Amino acid sequence: MWVETLAVRDFRLYADTTVGLTQGITVLYGANGAGKSSLIEALCIAAWGRSLRTHTDSVLVRHGAQGYCVRVRALSDVHAPYWVEVRYELRGGKAIESTEGKGLSPKDLVGRLPLVLLSPELREITSGAPQERRRFLDILLAQSTRLYAELLVEHRQLLRQRNLLLAQYAQRADPALLPQLESWTDRFIQVGAELIWRRRQFVEEFQPLVCRYYERIAPERLQLRYLPDGAAAEELPRELGGVVEWLRARARTCACEELRRGSSLFGPQRDELQLLLNGAPVREVASQGQHKSVLISLKLAELEYLAERRSETPVLALDDLFAELDEGRARQVLELVRERTVQTLITLTEPERLPLLRDHASALHWLRVERGTVAPAAPKLL
């Protein structure tokens, strides 16, 4: 996929700006607060229908405006044109339309403009709670197959309904609620088992990719370990039917305690993806540079995985790529990025402080960002 133009109106600090993007690597540079990350955020909205930085669309509207508009025009790998427009009005809400029609929802966009994002907001993947790594899994797999996205939406609905019934039973112990709970639990097990089965398969395929990239950046040994519902992946049967029965057995074990507590105590919402360096948890032992190196490896592996599964090359957006990396790791990362023949956007503040860029300056496309304006301009010191 190649994004030809990114247009924003009344978005963050941008009044009305259209940015033409080339194939290859484009570097967006400028001072802090100039609007570099806002352009990456706008691209995310075009790809996913929402921002990863906030759940509140109103904060994205430029001060004094009544709404925002993000529009992208792109070409697929087979040169099929694609466009998408996301509009938000303070009084009217959000409207999405694209090549595929009007009245779309964010879930209709997932996978149409494949995007791999690295940003400071995603550092929680390596340093945060298990839910951050589950979210990483879910976003990646939802982009790789529409079925996974649909299963994920259904699981969330089932979990919400099941927790509601359990909470009601915990309050008044009404036996009339039990047949409803049994019915919701049966479907919860079916959907949950398929999510677990697909996640286990994914981690087995994904781990070698991540480790290969990390070996190019740093000397430590990186491992990924999937813990379904808190258990070891080795406990899982290989076939989907076996996973259904495995999860059903866990449901029976938790049943009485669930009724007492009033919430679900088993299922894929309790999964963990452990990241280990030399056998120890990354979140506990890694330095800032190691955290960033692991995250970059995850993202480059995500790029390769999606390109293979979707038969469409994702766009790669690397916000503040070189922060927290020493020069040696930064050079390795830049080399890895240059080896990938994908459209890439990189943001940074002071390119003149990165000597490694001088060797590649002529091969990069440069855009200077200054308080809501974007213009082609190579840094003077390069």
Kindly report, residue by residue over 111-136, the tens digit of the pLDDT: 899 999 999 989 999 999 999 999 99
Q: Over range 135-145, report the average pLDDT.
A: 93
Assigned architecture for domain 125-310: Up-down Bundle (1.20)
Residue 339 has pLDDT above 80, yes or no: yes
Q: Over range 360-380, report the average pLDDT.
A: 89
Closest CA to 295 of 58, 64, 133, 108: 133
Q: Over range 266-276, report the average pLDDT.
A: 97
Q: Over range 56-77, report the average pLDDT.
A: 96
Residue 17 has pLDDT above 80, yes or no: yes
- pLDDT at 381 (0 to 100): 52
Residue 382 has pLDDT above 60, yes or no: no
Pick the CATH number of 1-114+312-382 from 3.40.50.2300, 1.10.760.10, 3.20.20.80, 3.40.50.300: 3.40.50.300
CB 123 within 8 A of CB 296: no
DSSP-derived secondary structure for 272-329: EEEEEETTEEHHHH--HHHHHHHHHHHHHHHHHHHHHHHSSPPEEEETTTTTT--HHH
Lowest mean pLDDT among 42-56, 81-95, 223-237, 349-363: 349-363
Q: Over range 87-110, report the average pLDDT.
A: 94
Q: How far is 137 from 44, CA to CA, in rounded Å?
A: 17
Q: Over range 215-236, report the average pLDDT.
A: 92
Q: Where are the domains of the chain?
A: 1-114+312-382, 125-310
Global pTM reads 0.92
The pLDDT tens digits for 67-97 are 999 999 999 999 999 999 999 999 999 999 9
The pLDDT tens digits for 278-298 are 999 999 999 999 999 999 999
Residue 353 has pLDDT above 80, yes or no: no
Closest CA to 117 of 17, 186, 33, 48: 48
Residue 236 has pLDDT above 70, yes or no: yes
